[in-house]
Amino acid sequence: MTPPPPPPVFLKQTATTRVLVVDDHPIFRAGLIARLEDEEGELTVVGEASNGSEACEQTELLRPDVVLMDLHMPLMTGVEATLQIKRDFPGILVLILSATAADSDLQGAYAAGASGYLLKTSSPVEIREAIVTCMDESESGGIPLPFTLGEDAGLENPKGLSRRELQILELAAKGETNKAIGAHFNLSSRTIEVHMRNIFTKLGVSSRTEAVTTAIRDQAIRLP
């Protein structure tokens, strides 16, 4: 009697966020694309565009999860392109990546439907963090809250930790898990993991214990 065949093995598919990069400077665009994808496979760059008109065309063709959009471009500005994308594909998130943070630019971007506004001086780690955070909030059923990252990110100490990162470290010092920390901010444990990796990079450490110890030693946070 022939034995029954073994049951099929289903490999778990890792969710990845599909990103379209839009910028009219080819060297900057190429450098950003090269550094944006991470080893964990959370982000994948699926296309690029050099102006707002191309951004709309590529968005319709590729249907990315997130469009990383420059503001000042020929043919169609980033604000105009964001407005059209959000009108035609409201589920696609748009993050502005600009060289300046003038009030008029910020107001125009958010009025068009952008979920965030980042400066081009932001590190690739910070940009990835912003993308993952917005996607996480969107997938959880909430509305991604606009935020600005860059000159006004509110750095609190010489190590360059943001206010949110300091809050996460303080909760970690109390022994809370990533899941519990995420509950405080209505974020998933995956997003907290992204924040923690960013903290490790800034502090030059490789574990939660080292991060908490270093932050306490440098008086960035206080003992609970």
- Over residues 63-81, the pLDDT tens digits come to 999 999 999 998 899 999 9
The span from the CA of 146 to the CA of 133, in Å, is 11
Query: Letter for the amino acid at 151?
Result: E
**Which of 123, 149, 175 is the last residue before a domain boundary?**
149
Co-location of 140 and 180 in the same domain: no
Whether 175 is in a domain gets the answer: yes
Whether 4 is in a domain gets the answer: no
**Average pLDDT of the chain to the nearest whole number:** 81
3-state helix, strand, coil in the chain (%, to 5): 45, 15, 40
CATH number, domain of 196, equals 1.10.10.10
Whether 8 is in a domain gets the answer: no
Query: Letter for the amino acid at 90?
Result: P
Co-location of 124 and 174 in the same domain: no
**Which of 95, 115, 149 is the last residue before a domain boundary?**
149
Co-location of 192 and 101 in the same domain: no
**Residue 86 · residue 93 · CB < 8 Å:** no
What is the biggest distance separating any 2 CA atoms in the chain, rounded to whole angstroms? 77
In the DSSP assignment, the letter for residue 93 is: E
In the DSSP assignment, the letter for residue 145 is: P
Query: Letter for the amino acid at 80?
Result: E
Co-location of 122 and 192 in the same domain: no
Structure token pair of residue 70? 């420059």
**Which of 100, 126, 149 is the last residue before a domain boundary?**
149
Low-confidence winner among 93-102, 146-155, 193-202 (lowest mean pLDDT): 146-155
**Residue 196 · residue 208 · CB < 8 Å:** yes
Co-location of 206 and 103 in the same domain: no
The span from the CA of 29 to the CA of 161, in Å, is 27
Q: Is 138 left (phi over 0), alpha (psi -120 to 50) or beta?
A: alpha
The total of structural domains in the chain comes to: 2
Q: Whose CA is closest to 66, among 109, 23, 17?
A: 17
Whether 10 is in a domain gets the answer: no
Co-location of 86 and 139 in the same domain: yes
Co-location of 174 and 208 in the same domain: yes
Co-location of 76 and 181 in the same domain: no
The span from the CA of 6 to the CA of 119, in Å, is 53
Q: Whose CA is closest to 111, among 92, 91, 87?
A: 87
Co-location of 202 and 139 in the same domain: no
Co-location of 128 and 98 in the same domain: yes
pLDDT in tens, 94-145: 999 988 877 788 888 888 999 888 888 877 877 887 888 778 766 544 444 4
Whether 54 is in a domain gets the answer: yes
What pLDDT is stored for residue 161 in this prediction? 77
Whether 187 is in a domain gets the answer: yes
CATH number, domain of 107, equals 3.40.50.2300
Which residues constitute the domain of residue 201? 163-217
- Sheet containing strand 148-149, edge to edge, reads 43-49, 17-22, 66-69, 93-98, 116-119, 148-149
